[in-house]
Structure 1
Amino acid sequence: MSNRRTVERSVQELYRDDPERADALVWGRRGTLKGAALAAMGATLGGSIPFARSMPSGLLPAALAQGSDAPQFLQMEGKARLIMQGARPLNAETPESLLDDDVTPADKFFIRNNGSVPEPAADPRAWKIRVDGEVNTPLELSLGELEGRFELVTRRLQMECGGNGRSGFTPQAAGNQWGNGAISCAEWTGVRLRDVLRAAGLKDSAKFTGHHGADSHLSAQGPAISRGMRIEKAMEEDTIIAIRMNGQPIPQMHGAPVRMIVPGWPGSLSQKWFTRIELKAEPHRGRGMGGTSYREPVRPIVPGSRNTGADFVDMESMPVRSVLTSHAHGARLPAGTRGLDIRGQAWAGDLTVSAVHVSVDFGQSWHAMTVNPPPNHHAWQRWTGRIALPSDGYFEIWYRATDSRGRMQPHAAANWNPQGYGANPISRVAILVG
């Protein structure tokens, strides 16, 4: 009697490892989708596929791509129904359909923690931050002194996890498997970081920053994260020390009472529960710096290979990306729907978005959407448009953005790296009409 067992593989695993073979095994498909293969796929998807002839071979339909496991949702007072990415530390992603607000409400703001959430400040206005290192006059300022001494500014600023889009990589990279929802664009009020640094008197040797916060690593050994950036980014107008979010005190989960906002760059630089910034002559070497942490390959490496990151570079401006907010993935529309008004958001790190295009025929044709200018630099941009649907059936809305330098979202995640940064492939949302 044999002790060998047959290992069942999911459709997602089959397509990940060998898409062409998966087509044959799952649907009996060879080349163009037709006949029995078309009938089998249509039955699985719940309707006919009007643009079946345009569907690329080896493409797993978007309706099936997320796997059979239902996502787990966050249950937390004061927060919307976010998708759980991890419980310890707590991380949760905002579904794209909840990112429809021009200004992200606090309850829909994604959650990204690297360690333990500290206890709330007993007296927020007495919270102290320190500026030291390569400065002439080290400063220690309370929140009250910060607000009273420096000009307050209010800006809509995007903040995005450096690993946003990580789930797009094949093979899978390490870390939370974010979709597109580790992004927000709240309205932040605070003081310009450069005003505070100038008050401390920057020395000529001040070329980099190092950021510190009150959150500790889950092991209780040292800080949860401590990152830094080039002084040029620190001196930009939109890099601020924030004290309010959407006109209210910052919620504890999002860094109260004081946090940094470094828009357009990985959110790990936007130190929560901010306590100290040091100016340095050399790059900071805190937790989350060096190696493969928040760094990308200068030259492509073999996907799935190990790498020390010795020839990687720090991730700075985030890549162009877009989300569809008007219709949730898997939406069912009434029979006879022949036109659909759609909308979403798009952003491009330090750059702006010049175009958004949408396809409903598996990328055979693309249609330009209207893209609004940002209300201020580093805010995301609203896009809108209308698509035509020729009949009832299964459709996929593909959408891609192009930045102000002409770079558009690729068809597949590029520049694979061990910790999964910079993945920004074209997104797909499945809808069923009738």
Structure 2
Amino acid sequence: MTVPQERSLRELYAEDAERADALAFGRRGALKGASLAALGAALGAGIPFSRHMPVGYLPAALAQGAPATLRMDGKAALVILGERPLVAETPETMLDDAVTPVDKLFIRNNGQVPEAFAGDPRSWKIRIDGEVNTPLEITLGELEQRFPPVTLQLQMECGGNGRGQFQPQTRGNQWGNGAISNAAWTGVRLRDVLTAAGLKPGASHTGHFGADPHLSGDPNRAAISRGMPIAKAMEEDTLIALRLNGQPIPNIHGAPARLLVPGWPGSLSQKWLTRILVRSTPHDGAGMGGTSYRVPVRPIVPGSENNGRDFADMQSMPVRSVLTSLAHGARLPAGTREIDLRGAAWAGDDTVRAVDVSLDFGATWRPMQVAAPANRHAWQRWTGKAALPSDGYFEVWYRATDDKGRMQPHLPANWNPQGYGANAISRAAILVG
């Protein structure tokens, strides 16, 4: 008679987390004896702070698999989340530069990537029309001649950053924390161009258009066409960007010109920019209305269907942080008793007041040092040290708090069908010894 073998705890967590929790934590909700030993064996080390591990908690080391990576000239080994359209995330340890290098910028497309513009980039034209007194059709060369240039470090973040945290899973690319960049963008202020066109009294919103073809190839369909309130368009940090880190913008990132609308969902930062329509009503292009880049005004039941009638457009992105000095799954030498930590934090239109780190599953927290931003809408770097009591398995939990007192939650809040705004506390597993 063959006796069926139970799967290992690692296999159970990967395939049947509910059964793994039942075996590991039992009815009393405490890791003891054989259960603690089994979990430690699955993790590859003892768990010094196991007494603080929440009931039913899935250790971070067992929660992720090996991702596929991008192979593209001029780009680092980003994590591929989708191929049609191309979507690739930057691992957190690649975000260790104060200014994000071009090769480490995440990629988020909504349609096909257009052929690179074959002419002189200075001849590329952008049209400004709608609720303006003097419609403009202006080349990039004329933009540079007529309006003062500005260079700013600006955060650009996908509206779905953190989407993979939501349960039940939502539609869209399952981002971790890496749909963020903080590059140096050079261009002209959008408000200068709109002022030159002369806004009519009824001007209240913009609509943006680009040259990227729809995935279907239908020339009558836009891949994406979003818009924003005129107040955001008139902010001094909202740019028509012409250069990225001092060089021409690569085609994959929207050459030869794109919008840069920092602090708000990156879908507003239209690539391959061809037109800005000034409107007297909110824009109704592709990616507007319904549940697109919109979140519930009042909480809805997770997993429920909703047409977005009571939703509101996402505006300022929520507070978030990344850990860039230690990779998830890092193994440190035996006897390591102190670790240097650093990363970045940001909060949309606001600033970050604090970053705190925990090594004991959130039982205690220690403050890190947070630097001021290089300019408004730039992210903020944070640094600090943490002591380790012994060898073993640890998780570095990190959270940021903005200047209005809003802190990253333990679990993603305000579930919505397309998974926007998830900004829960992040965790990185490390093994010492």
Query: For this structure pair, what is the TM-score category when the shorter chain's length is used for normalisation?
Result: over 0.9
- Per-residue Cα deviation, 1:187-224 (whole angstroms, up to 9, x for no partner): 00000000000000000100000000000110122111
Distance 1:154 1:276 in 2: 22
Aligned to 2:247: 248
Aligned to 2:376: 377
Letter in 2 for 1:99: L
Contact 2:243–2:249 under 8 Å retained in 1: yes
Q: Alpha carbons of 1:217 and 1:178: their partners in 2 closer, same or farther (altered >3 Å)?
A: same
Superposition misfits of 4+ residues, deviation over 3 angstroms: 12-15, 25-30
Aligned to 1:127: 124
SS at match of 2:23: helix
| TM value normalised by structure 1 | 0.95
Residue from 146, 150, 160 that aligns with 1:149: 146
SS at match of 2:170: coil
Residue from 127, 132, 137 that aligns with 2:134: 137
Distance 1:432 1:120 in 2: 46
Letter in 2 for 1:116: Q
- Percent identical residues: 72
Aligned to 2:353: 354
Aligned to 2:59: 61
Contact 1:29–1:37 under 8 Å retained in 2: no
SS at match of 2:231: helix
Aligned to 1:6: none
- Per-residue Cα deviation, 1:36-93 (whole angstroms, up to 9, x for no partner): 1110000000011000001111110000111xx4210001111001000001110000
Q: Which runs of 5+ in 2 are unaligned?
A: 1-10
Distance 2:320 2:16 in 1: 27
Contact 1:318–1:350 under 8 Å retained in 2: yes
Distance 1:230 1:10 in 2: 49
Q: Do residues 425 (structure 1) and 421 (structure 2) align? A: no
Letter in 2 for 1:90: L
Contact 1:27–1:40 under 8 Å retained in 2: no
Matches within 5 A, 1:8-407: 11-12=13-14, 14-15=16-17, 18=18, 22-25=20-23, 28=26, 30-66=28-64, 69-123=65-119, 124-221=121-218, 222-407=221-406
Distance 2:15 2:421 in 1: 23
SS at match of 2:312: strand
Displacement, 1:420? Answer: 0.1
Distance 1:47 1:395 in 2: 9
| TM value normalised by structure 2 | 0.96
Distance 1:22 1:263 in 2: 43
Aligned to 1:414: 413
Contact 1:327–1:342 under 8 Å retained in 2: yes
Aligned to 1:4: none
Letter in 2 for 1:412: L
Contact 2:23–2:35 under 8 Å retained in 1: no
Distance 1:171 1:14 in 2: 15
Distance 1:29 1:72 in 2: 38
Q: Which runs of 5+ in 1 are unaligned?
A: 1-8
- Per-residue Cα deviation, 1:270-318 (whole angstroms, up to 9, x for no partner): 0000000010000000000000000000000000000000000000000
Distance 1:188 1:427 in 2: 28
SS at match of 1:385: strand
Aligned to 2:4: none
